[in-house]
């Protein structure tokens, strides 16, 4: 007998507490997870670079916060757009302004270059993992 709050296939309602029948394993796209992680981490780096640029007074405060804020928000929004191929194109395009922050904060040339390498590795390694999962017969969700 099931309670009104139980769902079909709920392990607690099956005899012995086991699920009825296991369904196919659905994995999220590794490429999407890796790329999204890189973009969000870059957003934090841009926030800290904006704070440095503000502290060093490399430009008027309004300009520093406007440019830093636009880049930060863009990185976070594009991380959410990675369910579509255009999200990867936009993420790749955003690597240029992240590197360009090095004009105001020279250390960002180094940090930006590291993130460009991480971005490329995330795309390539994630795609390879997704491809291997498909070859093994697992379904991939959110490619």
Query: For residue 18, what pLDDT is reported?
Result: 53
Cβ-Cβ contacts under 8 Å for 75 (sequence gap 6 or more): 39, 40, 42, 43, 46, 94, 98
Query: For residue 19, what pLDDT is reported?
Result: 56
Query: For residue 27, what pLDDT is reported?
Result: 74
DSSP lists the bridge partners of residue 26 as 139
Instruction: Note the pTM of the prediction, 2 decimals.
Output: 0.77
Q: Residue 7: inside a domain, yes or no?
A: no
| Residue keyed to tokens 């390879």 | 128
Q: Residue 98: inside a domain, yes or no?
A: yes
* Angle subtended by helix axes 61-80 and 85-93, to nearest 10: 150
Residues of the chain with pLDDT under 70: 1-26, 138-143
Q: Residue 143: inside a domain, yes or no?
A: no
Q: Residue 6: inside a domain, yes or no?
A: no
Q: What angle do CA 63, 66, 71 make, to 5 degrees?
A: 125
Q: Residue 85: inside a domain, yes or no?
A: yes
Q: Residue 127: inside a domain, yes or no?
A: yes
Q: Residue 77: inside a domain, yes or no?
A: yes
Q: Residue 15: inside a domain, yes or no?
A: no
Structural domain range at position 74: 29-135
The structural domain count of the chain equals 1
């Amino acid at each position: 007998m099931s309670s009104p709050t139980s769902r079909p296939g709920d392990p607690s309602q099956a005899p012995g507490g086991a699920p009825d029948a296991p369904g196919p394993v659905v994995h999220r796209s590794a490429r999407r997870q890796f790329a999204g992680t890189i973009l969000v981490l870059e957003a934090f780096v841009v926030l800290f670079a904006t704070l440095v640029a503000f502290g060093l007074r490399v430009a008027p405060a309004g300009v520093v916060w406007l440019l830093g804020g636009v880049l930060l928000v863009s990185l976070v929004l594009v991380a959410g757009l990675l369910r579509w191929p255009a999200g990867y194109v936009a993420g790749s395009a955003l690597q240029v302004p992240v590197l360009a922050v090095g004009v105001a904060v020279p250390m960002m040339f180094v940090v930006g270059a590291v993130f460009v390498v991480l971005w490329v590795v995330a795309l390539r390694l994630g795609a390879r993992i997704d491809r291997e999962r498909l070859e093994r017969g697992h379904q991939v969700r959110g490619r």
